[in-house]
Amino acid sequence: MYKVYLKKNEEKRILDGESLVYANEVLRIEGKDKNGSLSSLYSYDNKFIGRGYINHLSKVILRVLIRDDETIDDLDFFIDRINKANNYRINLGYENSYRVVFSEVDLLPGLIVDKYGDYLSIEISSLGMELKKNLIVDALVSIFNPVGIYEKSEMNLRIKEGLKDESGVIYGTIPNEVIIEENGLKISVDIINGQKTGYFLDQKENRFSIRNYTKDKVVLDCFSNTGGFSLNASVNAKKVIAIDISEKAIENVNRNKELNNKDNIECIIGDVFEELRKYKNNKTKFDVIILDPPAFTKSLSEVKDALRGYKDINALAMKLLNENGYLITSSCSHYITIDMFLKMLIESSKIAKRRVKIVEIKTQSKDHPSLLQSNDNLYLKFFVLQVE
């Protein structure tokens, strides 16, 4: 087993609860083992900190998952860890569809597991978890007895870990469509071709909360994706217009309309920026506008451009609202901090020349918790604003 020794004072962050050890924090490595193996971590003064999977090819050289002197990472270990993560969600009332495991927050760094009814979708982003994939699958089968498990491990992080993208059925069978229940609605999920693990579960509570603002209103849902916000708005709205540039996404909105017998949703295939400018030119206004775009940035180098895009679209949306209308706006990029997002909204209100009230500030659903000592997992910003 490798023994990894940290430089002086570099252990503080890990002792506070973070899991990722970076190569530039390491003083020396002793011993010899296979890359990806379970390795022990020590402070500069030789105090044991924990154990994790090592990867010499990555800037994140160690991902800590064991905090005591435990050395076994067998099937029982993974069953226990996944059960603890799942029980946290069950105790909060999650049943049909939810995130079961959220990487290092659940002490399983590099592993994400989402549940869609009788099916599971997993994402593996680290070498250590890749090497334990068979044990992870066996643990999931033991706990959930799913009809099928699908792997969607396709992200830049795998390249940094020295891994290739992997996707496909790894247990049982996966249909082209899985119908889940969310907030009393039926949602069609395409686990195989859908974004991320199939559906954006992290906005569940936020989608439900918008019903407080949509009663008898005309609602514009921008970047609608499969229509989660549109469907929740349609429960009590007068009319909902869903816009997305993806033809496939709009097909999914129409499918979800059909499943829930919602005839007050109108769908438009188009570029949101262009469609908003058309509404501005035509002097068309709305009571509620929802902005839930994909991440405008996936790296620190793109933050400046991303903030410019957020500012442009939020300012335009503010101009398109009726008096005292609601702007429901969010960002899913963890590179955009809440302070950055708030500053951007202030600048947007100045451009729009509108007085704006903050009504609600929320983050991701409770099945996507974040670690207090590290804000990397606190990625979702969700604001409800009233525009005067």
Sheet with 381-387, edge to edge strand ranges: 265-269, 239-244, 218-222, 286-291, 321-331, 381-387, 356-362
Give the 3-state secondary structure of residue 83.
helix
Q: List the catalytic residue out of 105, 149, 180, 332.
A: 332
128 vs 109: CA distance, rounded Å: 9
The tally of CA atoms less than 13 A away on the side-chain side of residue 73 is 23
Indicate if 332 belongs to the active site: yes
Type of residue numbered 119: Y
215 vs 264: CA distance, rounded Å: 13
85 vs 29: CA distance, rounded Å: 32
CA neighbor of 294 nearest in space, from 310, 277, 308? 310
Residue 359 · residue 345 · CB < 8 Å: no
152 vs 191: CA distance, rounded Å: 9
The tally of CA atoms less than 13 A away on the side-chain side of residue 272 is 24
Residue 124 · residue 108 · CB < 8 Å: no
For the chain, list the strands marked E by DSSP. Answer: 3-6, 20-22, 26-30, 38-42, 48-54, 60-66, 97-102, 111-116, 119-124, 148-153, 166-172, 178-182, 185-189, 218-222, 239-244, 265-269, 286-291, 321-331, 356-362, 381-387
In degrees and rounded to multiples of 5, residue 270 shows phi and psi of 180, 165
381 vs 379: CA distance, rounded Å: 7
Please identify every residue annotated as catalytic: 332
